[in-house]
Chains A and B, each alone.
Chain A
Amino acid sequence: MADAPTPYERFIQGILPENPVYRQLLGLCPTLAVTNGLNAAMTMAGATAFVLFCANIITSLIRDLLKPHLRIVIFTLTIATFVTIADRFLAAYMYQMSKTLGPYIPLIIVNCLIICRCEVCASKQSVVHAGMDAIGQSIGFALALASIAAVREILGTGMLFGMRVLPEIWPDWVVMVLPPGAFLTLGLLLGAVNWYGCKNKNNNEL
Chain B
Amino acid sequence: MKPIEPMEPMKSSTLERIRNNYVVQAWLVLILAICFGGSLAGMQLALGPLIEANKINETLKKVPEMVLGAKKAEKLTKDQQLIIEPQTVEIEKNNRKVFYSVFKAKHPNGDPAGWVAKAVGQGYADKIEILFGMDNKLKKITGLFVLDQKETPGLGNKIMEEGWRQQFVKKKTATPLKVTKEGAKAAHEIDSITGATISSRAVCSIINTTIKDLRAPLSK
Contacts and interface: CB of A to CB of B under 8 A. Distances in A.
Interface of A: 62, 65-67, 70, 73-74, 77-78, 81, 84-85, 88-89, 91-93, 95, 156-157, 172, 174, 177-178
26 contacts: A65-B28, A67-B28, A70-B28, A74-B28, A74-B29, A74-B32, A78-B32, A81-B36, A81-B39, A85-B39, A85-B40, A85-B43, A88-B44, A88-B51, A91-B51, A92-B47, A92-B51, A93-B50, A157-B153, A157-B154, A172-B154, A174-B152, A174-B153, A174-B155, A177-B153, A178-B152
A70 B55 CA distance: 39
A89 B28 contact: no
B219 to A, nearest CB: 34
A88 B47 contact: yes
Interface string B8-37: 000000000000000001101100110010
Contact count band on B: 20 to 34
Contacts of A89: 47
Contacts of B54: 91-92, 95
Contacts of B155: 174
Contacts of B58: 95
Interface of B: 25-26, 28-29, 32-33, 36, 39-40, 43-44, 47, 50-51, 54-55, 58, 152-155
Contacts of A174: 152-155
Given A78-B36, A85-B40, A95-B54, A70 B29 contact: yes
Given A85-B43, A88-B51, A91-B51, A73 B29 contact: yes
Q: Which of B44, B50, B153 gathers most chain A CB within 10 Å?
A: B153
A13 B25 CA distance: 34
A156 B29 contact: no
Contacts of B44: 88
Contacts of B50: 92-93
B28 A62 contact: yes
A158 to B, nearest CB: 10
B29 A178 contact: no
Contacts of A91: 47, 51, 54
A73 B27 CA distance: 13
Contacts of A157: 153-154
Contacts of A65: 28
B153 A66 contact: no
Given A88-B51, A92-B54, A178-B153, A81 B40 contact: yes
Contacts of A92: 47, 50-51, 54
Given A70-B28, A70-B29, 19 more contacts: A65-B28, A67-B25, A70-B25, A74-B32, A78-B32, A78-B36, A81-B39, A84-B40, A85-B40, A88-B43, A89-B47, A92-B50, A92-B51, A92-B54, A95-B54, A95-B58, A157-B154, A174-B154, A177-B154
Contact of A156 (B36, B47, B153): B153
A88 B36 CA distance: 14
Contacts of A177: 153-154
A66 B39 contact: no
Q: Sort A-B residue pairs by CB-CB distance and give the 8 closest, nearest first.
A: A81-B36, A95-B54, A174-B154, A92-B50, A92-B47, A91-B51, A67-B25, A88-B47
A74 B33 CA distance: 9
B83 to A, nearest CB: 24
